[in-house]
Amino acid sequence: MANPTPPLSFAAPAPGTNPYLLENFAPVTEEQVRHGGFTVTGVIPPDLDGMLLRNGPNPAVVDDPATYHWFTGDGMVHGLYLRDGELRQYRNRLVRTRHLSRELGTPQPKGPKEAIDGGANTNIVFMAKRLLALVESGLPHRLDAALDTICVEDFDGALASPMTAHPKVDPATGTITFFGYDPFGPPYLRYHEMDPAGNLLHSTDIALDRCVMVHDVAVSATRVGFMDLPIVLDPTMGGTFPFRFDTERGAKVGILHRGRPGSEITWYALEPCYVFHVANAFDDGEDFVMDVCCYERTFDRGVGGLLGTDLARMERWRMSPGNPRVQRRTLDDLTVEFPRIDDAMAQGQHRFTYAVRSARRDGLDRFSGLVKFDHQRDESVRIDLPEGRECSEAVFVRAEDGRTDEEGYLLTVVYDKARHQSDLVIYDAHSMREVPWATVELPVRIPHGFHGNFVPTAALS
């Protein structure tokens, strides 16, 4: 792949004692490309034909290490290129936001000059015929197949405010549903729908009385579920991430039929809690059902206030007409995060959810294995990693001959503390055997990040 942008290298920020600048939270300081020759244990399934992409914070410049927050680091995208049973290439690139370009003295990205570009550090998706690096505090950044930044993407001027890092694509129609929250509102929340080519079809405001952190949204075939939960923007806090858990603020979920004005939203109350991630949502008759990773409290202690007093558990939330409250059911006592499903099942009733097992060690959340939830049998199975290894979000890729949402592979990047490097690990989603299909030793380290996706080669050609 041609790469017209010269690779960067930079000095690592001084970590001090900030745990988000140490071990595998520390940034890598070199953009590079590695071709072939990777050590493989096992067999890479030959029907995996595409790129596993990961995005996460990789701070090139840190003004104050003592107050640096994991959520604010510069975005770096990592690409692992699989074909014919081989890992053909690894490459990584910082997303060239305007802020980063000013700090490093590199050319500014093209695009709208007045737009807030954010850190582009949260997700990497292929949608609307574009490869987009996403963060909820700004517009997307469009990348090419070599992961070089093309521009700040505003969809031909149609989008003028932040976009979520979690857009939802309808697998039946290709319609893209997304939202954005705006600390400079009102309006503090906007909902949009877009066609598969990237043309904006519908936009409407959702009435909130102040800015709250809305990281994800629930979308079924007919409706959208917006969460107004008590993580509030508090400018008096100072620092780089001024959000906190507001014990006095209530919590609610608003249900709106897709394509309708925000004034028609119906709100359902629930106990104060917080959700970063929705696994999926679906219609069950007149009921709206959503599966979430739910924290009873968070953003109330720890570095930057990020940690909460507990870890998240999988819950199923049900909103029924005539009942003003959300009906909550805990699906399992296991603590988990980063839930994923087979994307072919999105917005319909899925059977399986895949997540990473979470624990707390040395004051930070750690991810020690994978969990598969079977919602039909109401049970879970898990894969535990050996001591000294920590995984990332697992991406489900259906096998070429797969017929259900468990017949495929789970792709995850695993940090090996002993080597201070990372592995690509591919598990069988059906059997959930602890012995994976393949472990590919990488001669690089991929820092702990947030989200990623698998993009078939055909999509980018």
* pLDDT tens column, 137-185: 999 999 999 999 999 999 999 998 999 999 999 999 999 999 999 888 8
Peptide bond connecting 186 to the previous residue in cis, omega within 30 degrees of 0: yes
The answer, yes or no, to whether residue 304 has pLDDT greater than 50, is no
The residue that leads in pLDDT, 241 or 388, is: 388
- Specify the pLDDT at position 4: 61
* pLDDT tens column, 363-393: 677 899 999 999 999 999 999 999 999 999 9
Please state, in angstroms and as integers, the Cα–Cα distance from residue 420 to each residue in 23, 40, 183, 439, following that order.
8, 18, 38, 16
- Specify the pLDDT at position 239: 67
- Specify the pLDDT at position 1: 41
pLDDT band, very low/low/confident/very high, at 16 (cuts 50, 70, 90): confident
pLDDT band, very low/low/confident/very high, at 306 (cuts 50, 70, 90): low
The answer, yes or no, to whether residue 309 has pLDDT greater than 70, is no
| Mean pLDDT to the nearest integer, 417-424 | 97
| Mean pLDDT to the nearest integer, 430-459 | 97
pLDDT band, very low/low/confident/very high, at 3 (cuts 50, 70, 90): very low
* pLDDT tens column, 181-222: 988 889 999 999 999 999 999 999 999 999 999 999 999 999
- Specify the pLDDT at position 361: 77
Residue 439 CA to its chain's centroid (Å): 23
In the chain, where are the structural domains located? 174-384
Least confident of 22-26, 50-54, 406-410: 22-26
pLDDT band, very low/low/confident/very high, at 67 (cuts 50, 70, 90): confident
Average pLDDT of the residues of the chain: 93
Class for the domain spanning 174-384: mainly beta
| Mean pLDDT to the nearest integer, 253-272 | 97
| DSSP string for 45-114 | -TT--EEEEEEEE--S--S-TTT--GGGSPEEEEEEEEETTEEEEEEEEE---HHHHHHHTPPPPBS-TT
Least confident of 249-263, 272-286, 289-303, 445-459: 289-303
Contact 355, 341 (CB under 8 A): no
